[in-house]
């Protein structure tokens, strides 16, 4: 290697503020670049001394070039930190939602069962935090005093318990799984159209019974789909399938513990199997169309004014 | 290169790279050379911009890279498009056409033409 070029690469190496293994790769890559540049110049009849001077000049000063790599690395670190923060926030939101929708009931039942099994020094069927609901065997309501921090949950839990709770909760869990699978399989754009196109009209028709229930269903679909989409983007294939299987398993277990294999559970399972089967192909189709014809994506993205302007 | 040209180049760098490696794998120096040849020497990718961009595109999954031993001289890192890179290229081509037409529509209209139209 020509000494001028070697000096340049050494100077560059000394100014790179990136991890050591990346320094080695960057320098190797630039070495091959400048080597080829030098070869080309010499083949064009320029003597080596002049050619190496030109090749080095062509690269730009070492500080500037190193600065670009350093800036890029800092950006990458910042981007990764931001992505991690967003992913963590999303997981927290989805997690909280899942706990609110389903987990709380499961946890309630588990704690109640522990309470029943151990009695905790209390009479049978009575625990400190949870009390049985009259006329609904196996259902337990929070037994805490108003004004405590538990109180904010009371409305949600009470609402859920006013309905045939296991069925509602199982349905919400299944909705989340449907969303998760569809989000994972077709990505965000797919679920936005596939899921909503199928889910919302059906939910609306079905929802005459309760607006709150409809909102819960919609939120469950969106939360599940967003989670699935995030998992897909991160390539967490096994995690997402495991999560779906885990949630489904939990739903089945809660269903058995709470009600046995009730008619409602079977109905909900069938509905959501049909729903997944219908939503995913639509999502895939939308995804395919928008990838194949980018102009259509613009329209599908609801940026109507751009569609009009390009017509 | 002028500042204006550098700014324009910065916005199109990814598209140019994706386009020149569409048909075959190339390494950094070849990419820069190919862009220079195809643009008649008008566009010149500086190493300080090209390599960070290549690495970022590799991280984003648009390209995959592979080191290959050269018959002569140091090893070279060849870049090729992934499926994601191909669809990004299709998208960028369409966006570029739209952008170019829109910009042309504005830049080619002179005040005199506006007055007569």
Query: b or e along A215-238 (b: 16 or more beta carbons within 10 Å of the residue's beta carbon)?
Result: ebbbbbbbbbbbbbbbbbeeeeee
What is the mean pLDDT of the segment spanning A71-83? 75
CA B7 and chain centroid, separation: 13
What is the mean pLDDT of the segment spanning B87-96? 91
CA A11 – CA A248 distance, rounded (Å): 58
Asked if residues A10 and A40 have their Cβ atoms less than 8 Å apart, the reply is no
Contact A76 B48 (CB under 8 A): no
The mean pLDDT value of chain A amounts to 60
More confident residue, B21 or A271: B21
Is a pLDDT exceeding 50 seen at residue A88? yes
Contact A65 B27 (CB under 8 A): no
Size of interface A-B (CB pairs under 8 A): 64
Instruction: Band the pLDDT of B57: cuts 50, 70, 90.
Output: very high
Q: How many CB atoms lie within 10 A of CB A74?
A: 12
CA B21 – CA B39 distance, rounded (Å): 15
Amino acid A17: pLDDT: 84
Is a pLDDT exceeding 90 seen at residue B80? yes
Contact B73 A32 (CB under 8 A): yes
Residues of B in contact with A76 (CB under 8 A): 56, 59
**Nearest-Cα residue of chain B relative to residue A68:** B48
Amino acid B6: pLDDT: 73
Comparing CB atoms, the residue among B49, B51, B98 nearest residue A310 is B98
Contact A29 B51 (CB under 8 A): yes
Q: What is the DSSP letter of A144?
A: P
Residues of A in contact with B27 (CB under 8 A): 32
What is the mean pLDDT of the segment spanning A51-59? 84
Exposure of A225 in the CB half-sphere (CA atoms within 13 A): 26
Residue pointed to by tokens 């910009």:
B103
CA A249 – CA A142 distance, rounded (Å): 25
Amino acid A57: pLDDT: 85
Contact B28 A29 (CB under 8 A): yes
Is a pLDDT exceeding 80 seen at residue B32? yes
Contact A64 B98 (CB under 8 A): no
Q: What tens digit of pLDDT does each residue of A94-109 get? A: 545 444 444 444 444 4
Q: What tens digit of pLDDT does each residue of A223-241 get? A: 666 666 666 666 555 555 5
**Nearest-Cα residue of chain B relative to residue A295:** B94
**Nearest-Cα residue of chain A relative to residue B101:** A310
What residues contact A286, with CB distance under 8 A and at least 6 apart?
A: A186, A189, A190, A193, A194, A300
Comparing CB atoms, the residue among A36, A37, A69 nearest residue B52 is A69
Chain A nearest C-alpha distance from B77 (Å): 7
Instruction: Band the pLDDT of A53: cuts 50, 70, 90.
Output: confident
Q: What is the C-alpha R_g of chain B?
A: 17
Chain B nearest C-alpha distance from A229 (Å): 16
Residues of A in contact with B49 (CB under 8 A): 68
More confident residue, A127 or B62: B62
What is the mean pLDDT of the segment spanning B62-73? 86
What residues contact A95, with CB distance under 8 A and at least 6 apart?
A: none
Degrees to nearest 5, angle at CA A9 with A6 and A10: 85
Is a pLDDT exceeding 60 seen at residue A13? yes
Contact A294 B56 (CB under 8 A): no
Residues of A in contact with B95 (CB under 8 A): 294
Instruction: Band the pLDDT of A77: cuts 50, 70, 90.
Output: confident
Instruction: Band the pLDDT of A310: cuts 50, 70, 90.
Output: very low
**Nearest-Cα residue of chain A relative to residue B47:** A59
Amino acid A36: pLDDT: 86
Amino acid A69: pLDDT: 85
Is a pLDDT exceeding 90 seen at residue A74? no
Q: What is the ipTM of this complex?
A: 0.78
Q: Hey, of A29, A57, A72, which one would you mutate to test binding to chain B, going by the most B CBs within 10 A of its CB? A: A29
- Which whole-number Å values give the CA distances from A27 to A9, A15, B75, in the listed order? 7, 11, 12
CA A159 – CA A81 distance, rounded (Å): 39
Which neighbouring-strand residues pair with B79?
B26, B65
Query: pTM for the whole thing?
Result: 0.49
Q: What tens digit of pLDDT does each residue of A148-200 get? A: 434 444 444 444 445 445 555 655 666 666 666 655 655 555 555 555 555 55
Chain B nearest C-alpha distance from A179 (Å): 24
Amino acid A279: pLDDT: 53
Contact B47 A65 (CB under 8 A): yes
Contact B51 A60 (CB under 8 A): no
Chain B nearest C-alpha distance from A122 (Å): 59
Chain A nearest C-alpha distance from B115 (Å): 23
């Amino acid at each position: 290697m020509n000494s001028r070029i070697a000096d340049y690469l050494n100077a560059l190496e000394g100014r790179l503020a990136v991890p050591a293994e990346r320094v080695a790769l960057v320098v190797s890559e630039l070495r091959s670049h400048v080597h080829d540049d030098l070869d080309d110049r010499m083949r064009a009849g320029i003597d080596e001394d002049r050619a190496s001077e030109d090749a080095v000049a062509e690269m730009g000063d070492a500080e500037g070039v190193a600065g670009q790599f350093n800036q890029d690395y800092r950006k990458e670190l910042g981007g990764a930190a931001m992505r991690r923060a967003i992913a963590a926030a999303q997981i927290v939101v989805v997690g909280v939602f899942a706990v609110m929708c389903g987990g709380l009931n499961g946890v309630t039942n588990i704690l109640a069962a522990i309470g029943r099994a151990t009695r905790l020094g209390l009479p049978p069927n009575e625990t400190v935090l949870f009390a049985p609901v009259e006329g609904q065997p196996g259902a337990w309501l929070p037994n805490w005093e108003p004004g405590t921090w538990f109180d904010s949950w009371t409305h949600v839990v009470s609402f859920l318990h006013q309905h045939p709770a296991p069925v509602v909760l199982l349905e919400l869990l299944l909705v989340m799984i449907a969303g998760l699978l569809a989000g994972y399989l077709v990505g965000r754009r797919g679920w936005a159209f596939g899921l909503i196109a199928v889910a919302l009209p059906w939910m609306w028709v079905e929802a005459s019974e309760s607006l709150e229930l409809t909102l819960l269903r919609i939120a469950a679909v969106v939360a599940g789909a967003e989670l699935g989409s995030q998992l897909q983007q991160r390539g967490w294939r096994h995690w997402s399938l495991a999560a779906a299987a885990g949630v489904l398993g939990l739903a089945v277990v809660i269903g058995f513990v709470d009600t046995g294999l009730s008619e409602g559970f079977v109905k909900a399972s069938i509905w959501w199997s049909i729903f997944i089967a219908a939503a995913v192909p639509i999502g895939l189709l939308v995804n395919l169309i928008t990838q194949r014809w980018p102009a259509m994506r613009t329209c599908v993205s609801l940026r109507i004014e751009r569609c009009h302007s390009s017509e | 290169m002028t500042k204006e040209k550098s700014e324009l180049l910065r916005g199109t760098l990814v598209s140019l790279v994706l386009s020149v490696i569409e048909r075959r794998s190339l390494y950094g120096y070849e990419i820069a050379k190919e862009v220079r040849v195809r643009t008649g020497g008008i566009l010149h990718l500086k190493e300080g911009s090209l390599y960070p961009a290549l690495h970022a595109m590799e991280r984003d999954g648009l390209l995959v890279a592979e080191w290959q031993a050269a018959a002569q001289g140091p090893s070279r890192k060849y870049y090729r498009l992934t499926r994601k890179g191909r669809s990004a290229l299709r998208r960028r081509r369409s966006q570029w056409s739209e952008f170019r037409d829109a910009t042309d529509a504005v830049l080619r209209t002179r005040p005199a033409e506006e007055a007569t139209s």
